[in-house]
Every structure is written in C-alpha cells, then in structure tokens.
Amino acid sequence: MKIVCIGGGPAGLYFALLMKQQDARHDITVVERNKPYDTFGWGVVFSDQTLGNLQAADPQTAGEILDAFNHWDDIEVHIRCTTVRSGGHGFCGIGRKRLLNILQARCESLGVKLVFDTDVQDESRFADADLVIASDGLNSRIRTKYAATYQPDIDLRQCRFVWLGTHKRFEAFTFAFEETEHGWFQAHAYQFDGDTSTFIVETPEAVWRKAGLEEMDKEASIAFCERLFAKYLDGHPLMSNASHLRGSAQWIRFPRVVCRTWVHHNGRQPVVLMGDAAHTAHFSVGSGTKLALEDAIELARCIGRSGNDLARALADYEAVRSVEVLKIQNAARNSTEWFENVARYVNLPAPQFAYSLLTRSQRISHENLRLRDRQYVEQYEDWIAAAAGVQRAPTGQPVPPMFTPFTLRGTTLKNRVVVSPMAQYSCDDGVPGDYHLVHLGARAMGGAGMVVAEMTCTSPDARITPGCPGLWNDQQQAAWTRIVDFVHRSTDAKIAMQLGHAGPKGSTRVPWEGEDQPLAQGNWPLLSASPQQYIDGVSDWSRAMTRDDMDRVLDAFVRSTRRAASAGFDWLELHCAHGYLLSSFISPLTNLRTDDYGGTLENRLRYPLEVFRAMREAWPQHLPMSVRISAHDWVEGGITPDDAVEIARAFKAAGCDLVDCSSGQVSRKQKPVYGRMYQTPFADRVRNEAGIATMAVGAITDADQVNSIIAAGRADLCAIARPHLANPAWTLNEAAKIGYGGARWPVQYLSGKSQLERNLEREKAMAAQSAGLSPLEQANRAQGV
C-alpha cells in the first residue's frame, strides 16, 4: 500500500512507523512543512495508561520515549498562600521536540521517507497514493478543503493562554492561581526534561484585556507573567520559543475542534483525518498528543485486521475513535470550563478548591482519588466532616462526604442523599393512600437523609392527571399526616412536601395510558402565563392568567402551605420548573405577556416570587424552603444557565434557602445533552455564583458520584430518582458498596447488613481477580480514564 501522511507531527509519524513495522512492503511518506528536527512548543504530558498503550503498540519506540520522560506522581495546587498536594496521579512529561525526534529517527530506521520543508496545500499532488492521512494539525488545510464532508465544529474558548518555558524544575505538576486588580490568572507548570519545565499562563479574555496584555509586546508580557508568578519561579526567567509570533499573537484562545466524520473519498483515494486535524482536547487534561498517538494505533490496528478491505478498516477506525475521543473531549470541556470560570471557585476554602480542581473533568472521582492517594482523601474527608460538625466513627473510619449532615434553618438531614420527588399518579381524588405510605416509608427506611413527596397540587384544577396528589382539603391533609407520622416515628429521615400547579400541562392521562395526552373526558380548563399548547395539535390550549386568577392560585398555594405545616412536614419546596404554571411565567418560550408580568426576566419572575413570598410568610420560619427551577430550557431563546443564576439570586432575596436545579421539559423542541451527572453543572454554577445552597439532580447513580459532587462543593444535596425506584434502600446499599459501615440501618434490618457487606466484598474480589486489574486500573476503567 502506498501511504502519504501530510503533516509530520506525532499522529503522522507514529502511524507511519506502525504501518511500516506492520508490513515493510508499504511505501510510506511523511511530508512536513517545517525544517528537519524543528518544532515549536515545550513539553507534552502523558498518563501512565497512555504509556501502556504505546508499549503494547511498539515496545521499542515506547522504550525510547520512556527513557526520555520525566515522571511524577504528585499534583500541587497553590491558592491564597495555601498549598495542597496529592499523589498517585502517574504522569510523564517529555519535550515535544524530543518526542518528535524519537519518532522521526524511528521512522527513518524502518524505511519511512521523511520529506521536510515542504508546504502541502492539498493532497492532489499525491494522486497515486492508496491512502492519504491528513495529520496537518489544528489549522488543517485538508479539513478546510473538504469541510462539507468532515463538518468541523470549531469553538474558540474564552481564555487567552501563552505557552512558555522555564529552567525552574517543578517537582510536581503545579497549578498556581494569582489574583490581580483585573482578575485571576492561573499557571500550569510541569518539568519535562532534566532542566526545563513547561509554564502555561492562562486567564479569561476580559481579564487579559483589562491587564493591558493585548497592547504589550512579547517581552513585556513575559515580564508581566514573571512578576505575577515570581514566588513560584525562584528567580528563573520565563522563556518563549515561538519566535515566529509577535506581541499579543503569542496569547491564543484554544480552539476546540469536533468533526462529524473523519474520512473523505476524493474520487482517487480516502483522505483520513488524524490528530489535531480531527479533534482537539484542552491542554488542561493533557490529552492532545495522547489522542493523536492513539488515533495512529487504532487505524494501524484496524488496517492490520481487515485484510485488504480498506473501506471496512476506515469505517471501524472512525467508529471506535470517534467514541473514545468524544469521552476525552467531554472531560476536556468540563476541565476547560472550570479554568474559564476560576473566579467562581476561588472563594471556596483552599482544600475544597483543590479538590474541585482535581475532579473538575468528572473523570477523576472520589474513589479514584482514594486509590491514588488514600491519605490525602481521608484527610480531606476529615476536613469535610469537621466542617459539618462530625468526627470519625469509633472504628476510626472517615465519614464519606455523602454521609455528613446538612442543616438549613432548624432542620438537619443526617446525610446528603435525597429521594427525589417522583410522580406516581396513584391517588384517588388527590388522597395519598397505602401505596404512598409504603412508597415513601420504604425509602425513608432505606437510609436517605430526606424523602420528597411528588408534586402535590393546590386545587383540583392544578393537577397533572386525576391520579396526582393534592393538599386542598382535610381528607388529603389527614392522609399526608399519617405518612409524615410514620416517617418520623419509624425512621430518622426527614420528609419534604413539594407544592406545584400543572398549569398548561394539566388535565392529562396517567403516563401508562398515554403520557401528556389530554383526558378522553372530564377535562378541566388550563392556565398559563400566555396561551399555549404543550404539544402542538394535541394538548388542550391554556389561557393567560388574569389578575383574579393569580390571586386565586396564590391563595391556594398559601392554604396548602399551612396544611403542609399542620401535617408536620420538615421542609417545603415550590415547583417552578418543567413548564408547569409558575415555570410558564419564568421561561421566555412560554411567557409572551406584555404587561408587568412579561418581557424582562425580572418581570417574568414577578408572579412566581409573589407566590413564594406569600408561602414563606405562611411557612414556619424555623423550617427551610426550597424552589425547583429549570436551569436550562435546552431550546434556543429559552432559559440558560446564566439566567438560572439570576433566578436563584431573586429567590434567595425572597427568603429561599436552597435551589433544586433541574432542567428541561418546558418545550417539546428541547435538545438536552445527556450524560452522567449532566445537570450537576447547573447546581455548581448557582451555588458558587449566586451564593445559595443547591441540590443536584439528574443521572446521579452511585455513591462515588454523590461523594464527588458534595466534596467538590458543586452542590449541598443530591437528589436520586430512578435508582430509588429500583432499590428503596439505595443509600444503605451504596454505603456497603464503598465499605462504609457507619450508615444507620433500621434495627429490624440489621441482620442483613453484615451479609450484604460480605457479599459485596466477595463480588469485588472475584471481579478484580477475573479481570487481572489493579484497584486503580479498575477505577480508571470505570471512570473512562
């Protein structure tokens, strides 16, 4: 096969040598626009796992690279004169130039032709090649030429950064944060050879401009960075090797590149993207070179096992690598956004700030950190527990973050797990019966800190379906009192009432008879901020509320609030999410009013805040109140996370104690981006920007995720929904899974505790033995690291 690699970076060189090693008869040429053995940049970083992949693909090259690496295990975080250090991370640094030299020499030894100082505009000059690899980098001309096929999405990120070097040798991968009058700057520093370290300085675009760096020449901006980070440099200067760049041009914004497809057929041969031409991952996760080399490994593997079926090999390559790259890019996006919004986190206590940084990508979890550095995690768990007012158990076992108590006003939850309000549609005339006693009672016995009743309606016409619960009469109040009394008498959990009004989404069938479909008969009139049909052509039309309607509905909320207090609930939540009545006022997608209750966000919030304030006045002052919001409508022109912060601030000013951050279900046109913990970033933003406690919801499925969220300060509580439907004792089960024996079981169930713990330990040991993996390797695989 005749192969041409356009671009002599890591991807092109490594693919060339792997293919030549696979079959010496391949005619392979790598064409590079730079001069021989010339390159830009400083050091690159690999994880130990990446080294293992290189070792499996080509032991000789891996050995040469490993000999040139500087290896470290520790990460140091410096913030506000405090240093936090953790170990076991397993990174290696190597100079980019040294890496390319090794790959170039290996290519030459195998017979790959290297052509330097040749600027290739497109692939047309290689018409006789069987395969063209477009490894021509971030600004790929090939990708641009065939953009209609590759469909690249290029997103310039918000920070400016400059890639510098220094002869200060950093013993650990170092993150340093410094505040100026203009805003925060951060440095990423690591040693990559015997006497040189990479030193990247980064700051948001607005801060960069305010600091005057846009107007400075190269020397002045480097001097600025030297002064700012002097205490970390120990007198060593910072250096630039980008002589081709002038002035502020050396400060760039990172372009995130995502391509929909990676293979184009030009009529003569396939042209395949590889490395930065196909994708980029932010330097804060150190994965750009890793991805490039693993692209090369996978394509060589696919070709090797496909026989002569090149088309099949390319299809397999794209299918496998696009998924793997997307995982890294999702983690890189999380990491990028964390560094873009450092100002959001700098007021966290230093230990929590450092933990937040370490877990920013959501690929490194609490248990993964424990396997890397048990001492660090246990000390941090003690710090979290002390902040919550608890100490280690008599056994000496640290208290995991999810099992620390949480107090708002006069209510203390024994842990941070909440059974999310989940509609059951199983009431008669709004009266909860034995079903709800068992449903909520079982989950209260299952170890959660609090159970939340499903959205309970304030009047008959406020219901979603005829099966929804209510709290507008004495019979309903008595039924709820029975459930609350059971929870208080038989468990140490708290119980919350969530009040809401279905608005334009009311008068529908129970889901198993046709979700969101109007009742066949007996429909009731629907209200909303503005007339709407939730499902075009299907749902009944709602009408816009008048002032009289607003007064009537507000009064109903207040009456139900008083009934909830009389029933003995510990907590009250107002439902302002998911397109229901109060949500219909907040979202610009559903509020088209031209009076004082429409238009600006301030106006759209006016009526929901009126309701909340009236409820807060009627609700006992020593008990907490929360509000559930849709923090993102997932529709162009709808509520955004920026809006969610302002919504939270408004409710906080009205006396709200916590914001329950959900999203979506406002419009059928929504396009959510799903994934594990996909709504947690909303709780994170609201908590750390609006300065109010939050509850995270959505695709939180295990104790490791809860511990990570709570420990990082992304939320104060985690609401778990579907896992609690599958297992009422989810919290107790998760405690046993992570080996925590301090969770309180109902005395009647204690005989099952030790057996569960033994069985889980046995299963864990057997799984590890059969897989042949170390505990850290198992954790890395589980997290996609």
| Residue partners of 637: CB distance under 8 A and separation at least 6 | 588, 589
- Is 580 part of the annotated catalytic residue set? yes
DSSP single-letter state for residue 272: E
Q: Are 314 and 263 in contact (CB under 8 A)?
A: yes
Angle formed at CA 29 by CA 25 and CA 35, multiple of 5 degrees: 150
Instruction: Count other C-beta atoms under 10 Å from residue 469's C-beta.
Output: 27
Phi, psi dihedral angles at 632 (to 5 degrees): -160, 125
Helices (H), ranges, 577-671: 581-586, 601-604, 606-618, 641-653
Candidates 14, 376, 534, 580; catalytic one: 580
Contacts of 669 (CB under 8 A, 6+ apart): 635
Q: Which residues contact 375 (CB under 8 A, 6 or more apart)?
A: none
Percentages of the chain per state (helix, strand, coil), in multiples of 5 = 45, 20, 35
**What is d(CA 269, CA 243) in angstroms, rounded to the nearest whole number?**
37
Rg (CA), the chain: 29
Q: Give how far Cα 79 sits from Cα of 170, 172, 352, Å.
A: 17, 15, 11
CB-based burial label for 564 (10 Å; 0-12, 13-18, 19+): buried
Calpha distance 161→282 (Å, rounded): 11
Distance CA 170, CA 561 (A): 59
**Dihedral of the alpha carbons of 591, 592, 595, 597, in degrees to the nearest 10:** 10
Q: Determine the Cα–Cα distance for residues 15 and 297; give it in Å rounded to an integer.
A: 7
Would you give the distance in Å from CA 323 to the centre of its chain?
Answer: 17
Q: Which two tokens stand for residue 56?
A: 């499996």
What are the residue numbers of the active site? Answer: 580
